[in-house]
Each structure stands twice: as C-alpha cells, then as structure tokens.
C-alpha cells in the first residue's frame, strides 16, 4: 500500500526524471529498502528526511510536507536523553507514561504550547 510518504517520494522521483535506483543511490540506500519505505513495509530511519531534503535541495515547504509524511509512517518516537537534565528526562518519561491517557483537549493544549496543529 502506497503511503503518503511513498507518494511524496514517487512524485519527487518522477519530477526529477529518476528511477527508484537513482534516488536510492543519491541518498545512499539500497533500492530494496527504498521500495519497502515507499510501499509502507518499512519505516525510514530518523535521518531519512535530511538525506532526502539535502539530496534534492527541497524548499522549506516541501521539507515540511516530507516531515509530515515521515511522521505518519512512524510507529514509535525516540528521544535521545544523553546530556539531558534530570528535569528534561522526568518530563519526557512522564509524557510517555501518560500519553495514552490524554484526552483531545489536553493534546490540543500541548500542541498549542508547542506551536503545532491540534487534534
């Protein structure tokens, strides 16, 4: 099943007159892995957005579209806690523990604080 990310990547390739192998080579990835990402069978690594954005010199708007598509296919979020304060660690772990309990209003309040769009 082609995901939003897959559609974005496919359009980007077509717009640049490239085959899947061309894009894979350009971003340093195997064709098989890129195909699996396009088809929603594998989730891309965290550096995937930057690799695509850098290789294709995406505009700010296109990069935001790529980030949104990337986020849709992620099944988990990892936060690097190295060199974070005890307070930062406590905040992250508290959020992770309580995430499933948050109602839409609470999620919207958090999104407003973070400057994103609500639920």
Average pLDDT over residues 69-79: 84
Q: Which residues contact 102 (CB under 8 A, 6 or more apart)?
A: 110
Please name each of the domains of the chain with its CATH number. 4-73 (1.10.260.40), 79-118 (no CATH)
pLDDT of residue 79: 86
Q: Which pLDDT does position 76 carry in this prediction?
A: 74
pLDDT digits (tens, 9 = 90+) for 23-66: 999 999 999 999 999 998 998 998 999 999 999 999 999 999 99
Q: Is the pTM above the cut of 0.85? A: no
pLDDT at 90 over 90: yes
Sign of CA dihedral 32, 79, 74, 20: negative
């Amino acid at each position: 099943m082609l995901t939003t990310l897959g559609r974005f990547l496919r359009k980007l390739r077509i717009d640049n007159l490239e085959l899947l192998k061309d894009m894979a080579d350009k971003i340093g990835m195997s064709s098989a892995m890129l195909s699996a990402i396009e088809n929603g069978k594998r989730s891309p690594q965290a550096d995937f957005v930057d690799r695509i954005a850098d290789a294709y010199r995406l505009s700010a708007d296109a990069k935001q579209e790529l980030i949104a598509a990337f986020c849709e296919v992620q099944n988990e979020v990892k936060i690097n806690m190295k060199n974070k304060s005890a307070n930062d660690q406590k905040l992250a772990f508290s959020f992770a523990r309580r995430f499933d309990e948050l109602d839409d209003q609470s999620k919207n309040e958090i999104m407003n604080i973070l400057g994103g769009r609500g639920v």
